[in-house]
Structure 1
């Protein structure tokens, strides 16, 4: 057990990154609207995420480079290189800056569900104290530049979040046979299609592929470490997926459509299952918000460093200035109640386009012997990767369809 804990790596950070307030909201709405029937979409998401994140981790350990750095060096055509790097910078850096306000706001909602609202009025502006607090925590942890400290804090927060949502699901006393039926019997219809796509889209996250490849080389240096990285990835992603499933299971017990987010879910559970349900959910939402508020700026900094050819070091001023700017923007937008809708729409579009591009590039690079040697993809890994690439293309079409109402699906 001691050896297992010693070899816990970036996996929990990846899980922390994809279980943000957006995921909590999507899973809540899915559970309220469709009960247990879309649990299979999370099972599919878990498999897809494990496959892609394992490739990303393997690439990071063997090459000792970040994914954006490899894209910059391996794409030789100058026009294609500029297009790829521009898309990545737009989707990850600008996108994560837009999402950061939502991450911080999610953490704030969790705290407010327990202790109420606290605002500070300054020259006519109302500043949310909790937004500043969460931003300060994220800033302090990242400023240390110490990967081990960051890893331990995020592992603790992910554990707290997992237990909170697990206990909430247990309190609702769900029917186990219905859960297994929902998890392993796919049901797809016109009514639930966009929800299925949203569930997959909040789990198979493009920026996690960049984050994972960069973080593994902070932890592991040699091919013999691949077994630890693989185990770490599988356990963490399955755990993260189970957290999402627990939220869906909890939401399925609410017999009302007046639930729009996790706070509404907490309020709805309280009269049925007591105040414990509210507190568990609020703690889970706070942990989800603060972990994503830390990992989103970190991923953006790694991506910008790789794309622009900066030294890939968490201690450099350039690196710190990227994540610092994103946290400050997130705190300001969250505390002042600003909702950068147009930027978020732009981020959704670029992320939607980016996922199949990055998945395709990842599969291509994972077959290059010059980069990975004997650790390149096997036939089985390529088959799984190809299936996921097709799913990511459908996700991309659905995202464009949703934002621009193109009626492509």
Structure 2
């Protein structure tokens, strides 16, 4: 029997896209979307650096490495899809049920570092794109990227299909830009075909090949995909699950092949424009743009910059979703998406600022490569558990991966982990040889951390084998449902009503009176928020305060005339704190509040008093939404 849990991943959009009752192309289109959000991670600015280096140094010879990377990605993303659809869990949630709490905390820290590293690549790519297109200084470009938090908040409030549409539009811009550039550079079709034939790798080409694989197969995409497929509402029968897996396979195949096209286009562009003209050391994005300008004029470099901005912005949005999934899955910690986005972006912006200020603009290219090395460290911690979870016949039932596919997955995992370990060792050796100071840092700090991370990876691999059918205690953010054994009616004697002298007051008061009738006592609460009230409190008596007191007394007189017991309560300064204090002092046992109706941007500007009050009081709160006329 397939196990499923109620602690849904990305709960606000879980099962929100209807797939049942549709046939043919409409049914296929209802499943399309999740893989496109995932695919942007396969064509982010981190990929650009490795593809440019491969094309400029080796021409078309490493296209086969891109193809191999794409095949590995297809297999692993489809395993993530299978986990999400069959068990109704994302990768982080499945890890929570398999590994001890401390190990999950370590896995969360590593995954969060990887997301920050990925976000760092998006910041750098976006800043470079703005610099190339508009001449904006990089330090300003990095600062501007802070404000895409508002864009993400807006998109999340619009629903999953709107978010997918936005991402697909950006991918279309990237693909179209490179398609036009292919006509401009006119690559050799015969040489491109030869590039798909595997060739022997020397030390330099092996390093680039490792970078391509490390930059292509990103760990956060596996967390993301296993969650996004759950946004589709499907029939939970065996046939329904099988159908969902099949449709998502096509979604993944189309999206990742599009990502392969973009990466191959970058490599082909570099091979045609640079390698063929003797420019063999083009690894910096700025250098590539400059050379394109010199060789082809203004159109090709402009398209290059536009595609870079679109790739960076789309990857930023999906990185935020992955961060939310990882935090909720590993730690059962759920915070506002905009706050999580802002924290992640700030943690990524700090090293970008430091690099520009201390090492200059040329240091950003090296920082971009370093971000890919950090990403490579996390790969094994996502791939190994994923293969274990999808191979478990007890929990996956008939949908457990078959032996041939399992063997292939382990071969790919060994290849990825092995190559990335080699890359990390190589980088550590390079850092150690740079200077005596850096050698000490490597020997006493970086090397011990690398060893600890390696031991953790071994544990992650071994534990599911040793404790095959043991699950950790399940902790969910909202707790386990209790037995309902007492549902008697509750009566409230002292009811608070917040008043703001708007058209919403009538609805708020009406709903409060419905709760207590004429037996309860009503406290009409209003908070004076003038500058004087914030500084002087009860001593203030400016015109606004006097007007508010008079208006409140009119409400009280009307209620008393209708036979209700009511009195006024005035607060001063911050609304949430003042309301909470009045509730405590007056011993109010039920609070009714009117919602201001703000959404997205206005919430950030005007604040969310209702949410703040809810966290400050220990009584039930009824929120009355304003009625539309």
* Alignment TM class, shorter chain as reference: 0.7 to 0.9
What is residue 408 of structure 2 aligned with on the other side?
384
Size of the aligned set, in residue pairs, is 391
Cα distance per residue 1:133-161 (max 9 Å; x no partner): 76245433455272222111011111111
Q: How far apart, CA to CA, are the structure 1 residues paired with 2:366 and 2:102? A: 24
Q: Deviations over 1:73-121 (max 9, x none)?
A: 023xx3xx523x24422222123224323312212222222222168xx
Distance apart, 1:244 and its partner CA: 0.4
1:325 is aligned to 2:365: no
Do the aligned partners of residues 344 and 160 (structure 1) sit closer, same or farther apart at CA in structure 2, a change above 3 Å counting?
Answer: closer
TM-score, normalising length: structure 2: 0.58
Higher helix share: 1
Residue 245 of structure 1 is matched in structure 2 by 264
Q: Which runs of 5+ in 2 are unaligned?
A: 1-24, 236-240, 358-362, 433-629
3-state DSSP of counterpart to 2:286:
helix
Mean CA deviation greater in 398-407 or 358-367: 398-407
Larger mean Cα displacement after TM superposition, 232-241 or 130-139: 130-139
Deviates most, 379-388 or 226-235: 379-388
CA distance in 2, matches of 1:344, 1:160: 23
1:105 matched residue in structure 2: 124
Work out which of the residue numbers 341, 346, 354 in structure 1 matches 2:378. Answer: 354
Which residue, 156, 177, 182 being the options, matches 1:169?
A: 182
Matched, 1:262 2:281: no
- Find the aligned partners of 1:69 and 1:40 in 2 and give their Cα distance: 35
Equivalent residue number for residue 559 of structure 2: none
Deviation at 1:325, TM superposition (A): 1.2
Check whether the contact 1:135–1:327 (CA below 8 A) recurs between aligned residues.
no
Aligned residue for 2:75?
51
1:398 and 2:422 are equivalent in the alignment = yes
Of the candidates 229, 235, 257, which is equivalent to residue 216 of structure 1? 229
CA distance 1:342–1:20, change in 2 (3 Å): closer
How many Å apart are 1:183 and its aligned residue? Answer: 1.6
The answer (yes or no) to whether the contact 1:65–1:213 under 8 Å persists in 2 is yes
Partner of residue 254 from structure 2, selected from 206, 229, 235: 235
Moved over 6 A (4+): 338-347
Check 1:144–1:328 CA distance in 2 against 1; reply closer, same or farther (3 A cut).
Answer: farther
Q: 1:347 to 1:202 in 2, by over 3 A?
A: closer
Residue 226 in structure 1 maps to residue 239 in structure 2:
no
Tell me whether 32-41 or 365-374 shows the greater mean CA deviation: 365-374
1: CA distance between counterparts of 2:72 and 2:233?
A: 23
1:279 aligns with 2:302: yes
Give TM-score scaled by structure 1 length.
Answer: 0.86
Note the alpha carbon deviations across 1:162-194, whole angstroms, 9 max, x for none.
111222233211111111111233332222111
Give 1:11's aligned residue.
35
Q: For the Cα contact (< 8 Å) 1:10–1:212, is it kept in 2?
A: yes
RMSD of aligned C-alpha atoms?
A: 2.9
Q: Are 1:82 and 2:99 an aligned pair?
A: no
Q: Which residue of 2 aligns with 1:291?
A: 314
Range moving further from structure 2, 36-45 or 213-222: 213-222
Deviating more after overlay: 202-211 vs 382-391:
382-391
Q: Using a 3 Å threshold, how does the CA distance of structure 1 residues 293 and 138 change in structure 2: closer, same or farther?
A: farther
CA distance in 1, matches of 2:366, 2:280: 27
Decide which moves more: 284-293 or 355-364: 355-364
Aligned residue in 2 for 1:62: 86
Within 2, Cα distance between the matches of 1:357 and 1:171? 42
Structure 2 Cα separation of the partners of residues 297 and 66 of structure 1? 15
Alpha-carbon separation, structure 2, partners of 1:114 and 1:330: 23
**Cα distance in 2, alignment partners of residues 274 and 187 from structure 1:** 36
Q: Is the 8 A contact 1:9 1:219 kept in 2?
A: no
Q: Is the 8 A contact 1:131 1:335 kept in 2?
A: no
Which of structures 1 and 2 has the bigger CA Rg? Answer: 2
| Residues 346/289 of structure 1: CA separation in 2 closer, same or farther (3 Å cut) | closer
1:186 aligns with 2:194: no
1:144 correspondence with 2:157: yes
Query: Is the alpha carbon distance of 1:348 and 1:247 closer, same or farther for their aligned partners in structure 2, counting shifts above 3 Å?
Result: closer
**Greater relative contact order: 1 or 2 (C-alpha under 8 angstroms, separation 6 or more)?**
1
Deviations 1:52-83 (A, max 9, x none): 000001111111111111011023xx3xx523
2:166 is aligned, of 137, 153, 157, to: 153
- Matched residues in 2 for 1:290 and 1:335: separation? 19
The answer for the alignment partner of 2:212 in structure 1 is: 199
The question of whether the paired residues in 2 share the 8 Å contact of 1:15 and 1:240 is answered with yes
Distance 2:336 2:122 in 1: 23
